[in-house]
A = this chain, B = another copy of it.
Amino acid sequence: MYQYEYPHFAIATDVALFTLLGDELKLLLIRRRGAPFKGSWALPGGFLRTDDATLEECAARELSEEAGVSGFFLEQLYTFGDQGRDPRERVISVAYYALVPGEGLTLTARTDADAAAWFPADALPELAFDHAQIIQLARQRLASKLDYSTVAFQFLPDEFALSDLQRVYEAVKGEQLDKRNFRKFILGLGLVEPTGNERRGGPSRPAKLYRAKTGHRLEYFR
């Protein structure tokens, strides 16, 4: 047992991990192995341990333990701490959002999860706790960050066509964009450079490939 002189609380981290598969924005959910909300879909997450040096470390550990995912971009989103958000006791959840390129990623459900799966971000099942609210805030943050940061590159491999980048913007914002205007916007920012390679295949002409000058470091452009 753990004893304290004053009331203490349980701290958890929950992570909304997004990727792009095909043209679709996907969110990772796990199915809960235990109570409460046993059998419900939820965000991966769990309690802070005394050996987690930081909150980020807790979030990354849970994502890896419950879904076998690594190599993601991770940023703090918001902390949820209202009374009653967890039926067991007061749990303060420090929520994160995370992004990962979708290609070649495999999920492995473990520990507190008996399944881990990608869901279309626009067609989620009923969710445990206040996780629907966390996801809504994560999508808003992500959509607005596209307008002033290089966050979109976190969905892409090191080398990509401008049409790949456009698909990220379209999927996250949920709207079609004009190809010429989009290219002008991206090239005007001066954040990408051609790698000299092309992608062939399919009936259309070869696509020039680019890389982000800043790599996967997040930059703000206004």
Given contact pairs A50-B90, A79-B55, A2 touches B11 in the complex (Cβ within 8 A): no
**Chain A's interface: helix, strand, loop or mixed, by majority?**
loop
10 contacting pairs across A/B (C-beta < 8 A): A1-B4, A2-B6, A2-B8, A7-B49, A9-B11, A11-B92, A48-B81, A53-B83, A92-B94, A147-B222
Digit string of A1-34 for contact with B (CB within 8 Å is 1, else 0)? 1111111111100000000000000000000000
In the complex, the answer to whether A6 meets B10 with C-beta atoms within 8 Å is yes
Decide if A54 is an interface residue (CB 8 Å cutoff). Answer: yes
> What count of chain A residues pass the 8 Å CB interface test?
29
Decide if A150 is an interface residue (CB 8 Å cutoff). Answer: no
In the complex, the answer to whether B7 meets A9 with C-beta atoms within 8 Å is no
Decide if A82 is an interface residue (CB 8 Å cutoff). Answer: yes
Decide if A64 is an interface residue (CB 8 Å cutoff). Answer: no
What is the CA–CA distance of A48 and B10 in the complex, to the nearest angstrom? Answer: 12
What is the CA–CA distance of A9 and B11 in the complex, to the nearest angstrom? Answer: 7
